[in-house]
Structure 1
């Protein structure tokens, strides 16, 4: 049976048996059609002659073309799944993809904002309006605490102790942690609770700290839409996580202990927090090379 026919059989299996989405099926189709075309140029047209060196050669060619690590990884996933199908269908005596290893993901420095850009962003909401005051309080609290957006919108009023300067957060894995809230963050949340939240008319039974115009808990999508609006005013391409990254980076830049930052962020492992320290080291190296008279040739 021609390998092209096996590909069509596999794509039908994905839709019929595994019930994958249309976009997933199209992704596998694109990846594997390219793979099959490559095999055909090497005269590999029957599934039973497919060997590990064919796969390795194809992936090496992708890398030589300058394809990204993400693209190569996705192709490996598609090829593994296809070869497993061929093995189960006895089109192959053994699975040649079983030894394939995915390349290590490229580690990118976390996206952060400068203090100046952050100040501009925080001052954009119109705090004379209830929604604007709420937006300012949310942005201030997110930057003041480094919370994940899911953690921020999950806060109830009882979780925030402004008089004591901390909040109680339920993080990933159900881990509880106490996070300090600075004076600015606490001040804006207090203003929101006094002047804005009552105007948004939440039901007496609504426990959420931050509510939308309907008086119910604001959603992740609602927060993202709000942030996107203000970011576009400054021509900034940022995500909700950018404020969390900025929180951690600015603390470490100003001498905070990495263990303390790890605790505030709710990271289970120190290695996760250390990526922010790597960014700081890169900045130090750049400053050294820029400033030291004998750093450059």
Structure 2
């Protein structure tokens, strides 16, 4: 197999993830890297994706598990998931008729409880952010919003200015699978947003224009990586070790602890797969806002 053909099949595979499954850029990057690793192995061992057998795939998994730093169970599980997706693509494209991954062991990952912190720890992190500077005020607004709405970091970074409705105090985010959902914004986060949009953001942009809500010092849309780095900095100051996604998990946990029903929280989070909870039921939008106002700690008077 030529290097050109290998690169081409990986590119076409990742493109299919966007077109057919509406996969996010982050997902396509992960799948693309893993597919490229597999193709490289095939080339080095004189194998071909069109003819590789299940025993040969198992040999690859053994090699992959022990190449460099030994892989964690969850990482190896992801490798198998990518292989299944890749060979499903090959079948759909009629490049091969069979699926050699069918006889691979089922990659069931052990269930892990999400990492959360209590409300006081959230406030401790938010409290160390210096809001006297434009960057600090922007950062406080970002993390208030993520916690207030249970956002994924990508949803926050990709949030557009015109998708915040200040009068109604609601945002519309684009979640996984390009699915939109409307989320109420709490009074605390809304207050920060008001000042950020009216004063801080215009100063940061100057004469430049940007359609996204949160902007960087370079007057462009802020990246997920920058949000990660900013939180890491504040966590070090606060003495609390968490990731951005922990704020999302904590949002859900605190809502449930304060009386919100499970289906409302799932709707707010944008979860479509609720196999680990109750059967999914659509929740009326007004009920979502009532559940939010009743249960979110920041809304308690």
Q: TM-score range by the shorter chain?
A: 0.5 to 0.7
Specify the SS of the correspondent of 2:132: coil
Deviations 1:272-292 (A, max 9, x none): 667xxxxxxxxxxxxxxxxxx
Rg comparison, structure with higher value: 1
> Is structure 2 residue 252 aligned with structure 1 residue 248?
yes
Aligned to 2:274: 270
Change (3 A) 1:202 1:150: farther
Match of 2:144 among 129, 140, 144: 140
> Is structure 2 residue 172 aligned with structure 1 residue 168?
yes
> Is structure 2 residue 107 aligned with structure 1 residue 107?
no
CA contact (8 A) 2:146 2:247 kept: yes
> Is structure 2 residue 151 aligned with structure 1 residue 180?
no
Report the alpha carbon displacement of residue 240 of structure 1 after superposing the two structures with TM: 1.6
Query: Quick one: distance in 2 between partners of 1:217 and 1:74?
Result: 30
Query: Quick one: distance in 2 between partners of 1:110 and 1:134?
Result: 27
Aligned to 2:233: 229
Specify the SS of the correspondent of 2:103: coil
Aligned to 1:218: 222
Query: Quick one: distance in 2 between partners of 1:199 and 1:79?
Result: 48
Structure 1 length as normaliser, TM-score? 0.62
Aligned to 1:288: none
Change (3 A) 1:15 1:273: farther
Query: Quick one: distance in 2 between partners of 1:198 and 1:149?
Result: 23
Aligned to 2:195: 191
Query: Quick one: distance in 2 between partners of 1:172 and 1:79?
Result: 21
Report the alpha carbon displacement of residue 202 of structure 1 after superposing the two structures with TM: 4.6
Change (3 A) 1:238 1:273: farther
Query: Quick one: distance in 2 between partners of 1:121 and 1:112?
Result: 13
Query: Quick one: distance in 2 between partners of 1:197 and 1:17?
Result: 47
Change (3 A) 1:74 1:263: closer
Q: CA RMSD in A?
A: 3.8
Query: Which stretches of structure 1, 4 residues or more, deviate above 4 A after TM superposition?
Result: 13-17, 19-26, 71-80, 95-98
Change (3 A) 1:15 1:213: same
Report the alpha carbon displacement of residue 222 of structure 1 after superposing the two structures with TM: 1.4
Change (3 A) 1:135 1:273: farther
Structure 2 length as normaliser, TM-score? 0.61
Change (3 A) 1:116 1:69: same
CA contact (8 A) 1:167 1:181 kept: yes
Aligned to 1:152: 156
Report the alpha carbon displacement of residue 102 of structure 1 after superposing the two structures with TM: 2.8
Report the alpha carbon displacement of residue 97 of structure 1 after superposing the two structures with TM: 8.1
Report the alpha carbon displacement of residue 108 of structure 1 after superposing the two structures with TM: 0.7
Aligned to 2:25: none
Which stretches in structure 1 are left out of the alignment for 5+ residues?
1-12, 30-50, 81-94, 275-297
Match of 2:73 among 69, 74, 97: 69
**When the two structures are aligned, how many residues end up with a matched partner?**
222
Aligned to 1:38: none
Report the alpha carbon displacement of residue 133 of structure 1 after superposing the two structures with TM: 0.5
Deviations 1:63-84 (A, max 9, x none): xxxx96337647979999xxxx
Deviations 1:88-109 (A, max 9, x none): xxxxxxx998633134101110
Change (3 A) 1:101 1:118: same
Specify the SS of the correspondent of 1:169: strand
Q: How does 1:4-83 map to 2 (within 5 A)?
A: 18=6, 69-70=73-74, 73=77
